[in-house]
């Protein structure tokens, strides 16, 4: 949404591709799920650090539309982990002023998980200190396709004139309609790709790829990445003197 050049200020919205849990566990001779447990614990620390750095929105990639290709054991372990984590953290998140919301196609998730997702969204809906958005069964292309389907329905029903459709119309139908665009996207684990994350929304995001595996990503490293962001000049296609 914002498109004014804002060099030397911190990012308002940070999105994170939390990658490397499996390798972290394997390097310790442990099963991949051990790494996912460690990864989930990091989320809490990073979210807690956000207010100190002026980060109002934090969006984390927890499970992609492509991650269903993993073994059934890993997928079901992850789903159980998400459910347990949401339940066990609800009280702290509420007390710490964190508003939790989810993006992604939740209809494909198990009913028990969906219920706790709905509950925590409702429970924290009045919070405004930090906005934590969890991308769960999220894919950027899938999101645009679902948004287009909803938009097409409105057009077919005669509620929207096709000639009036522009970028802002489509953005209103995206899962992220309540979020500003990310200013900074961080990916851990050394992979320099976006893996279908926030494709539309990251059109002008800065990217930071760090080698650290997600379970080792500390608040100190987070602070260093944010500092680096402050030195970048964001031009948004314009020319600066």
Cα distance between residue 211 and residue 130, in whole Å:
26
60 binds, among Mg ion, ligand IPE, none (CB under 5 to 8 A by kind): none
Mark whether 211 is an active-site residue.
no
Min. distance of Cβ 189 from Mg ion in angstroms? 6
Decide: is 6 part of the binding site for ligand IPE (CB under 6 A).
no
Cα distance between residue 91 and residue 96, in whole Å:
9
Per CB under 6 A, the segment of 12-20, 146-154, 170-178, 221-229 that binds ligand IPE is: 12-20
Cα distance between residue 49 and residue 219, in whole Å:
7
Mark whether 175 is an active-site residue.
no
Within the chain, residue ranges assigned H as helices are 21-26, 32-49, 72-95, 111-123, 140-156, 167-173, 219-230
Min. distance of Cβ 146 from ligand IPE in angstroms? 18
Per CB under 5 A, the segment of 18-26, 48-56, 96-104, 112-120 that binds Mg ion is: 18-26
The burial class, CB within 10 Å (0-12 / 13-18 / 19+), for 186 is buried
Decide: is 181 part of the binding site for Mg ion (CB under 5 A).
no
For ligand IPE, which is the closer residue by CB, 65 or 124?
A: 65
Decide: is 19 part of the binding site for Mg ion (CB under 5 A).
yes
Buried b (16+ CB within 10 A) or exposed e, 53-64: bebbbbbbbbbb
Min. distance of Cβ 75 from ligand IPE in angstroms? 9
| Interacting residues with ligand IPE (CB under 6 A) | 17-23, 61-64, 67, 78, 189, 191, 193, 195
| Interacting residues with Mg ion (CB under 5 A) | 19
């Amino acid at each position: 949404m914002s498109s004014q050049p804002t060099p030397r200020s911190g990012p308002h919205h940070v999105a994170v591709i939390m990658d490397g849990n499996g390798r972290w566990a394997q390097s310790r001779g442990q099963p991949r799920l051990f790494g996912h447990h460690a990864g989930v614990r990091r989320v809490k620390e990073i979210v807690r650090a956000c207010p100190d750095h002026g980060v109002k929105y934090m969006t984390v990639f927890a499970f992609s539309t492509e991650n269903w290709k993993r073994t059934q054991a890993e997928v079901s372990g992850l789903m159980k982990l998400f459910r347990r984590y949401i339940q066990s953290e609800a009280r702290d998140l509420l007390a710490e002023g964190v508003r939790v919301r989810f993006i992604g196609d939740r209809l494909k998730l198990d009913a028990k998980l969906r219920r706790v997702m709905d509950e925590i969204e409702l429970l924290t809906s009045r919070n405004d200190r930090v906005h934590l958005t969890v991308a769960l069964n999220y894919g950027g292309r899938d999101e645009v396709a679902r948004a287009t389907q909803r938009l097409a329905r409105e057009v077919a029903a005669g509620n929207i004139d096709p000639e009036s459709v522009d970028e802002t119309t489509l953005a209103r139908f995206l899962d992220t309609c309540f979020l500003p665009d990310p200013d900074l996207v961080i990916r851990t684990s050394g992979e320099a790709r976006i893996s279908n994350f926030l494709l539309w929304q990251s059109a002008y995001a800065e990217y930071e790829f760090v080698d650290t595996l997600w379970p080792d990503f500390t608040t100190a490293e987070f602070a260093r990445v944010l500092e680096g962001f402050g030195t970048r000049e964001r031009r948004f296609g314009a020319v600066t003197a």
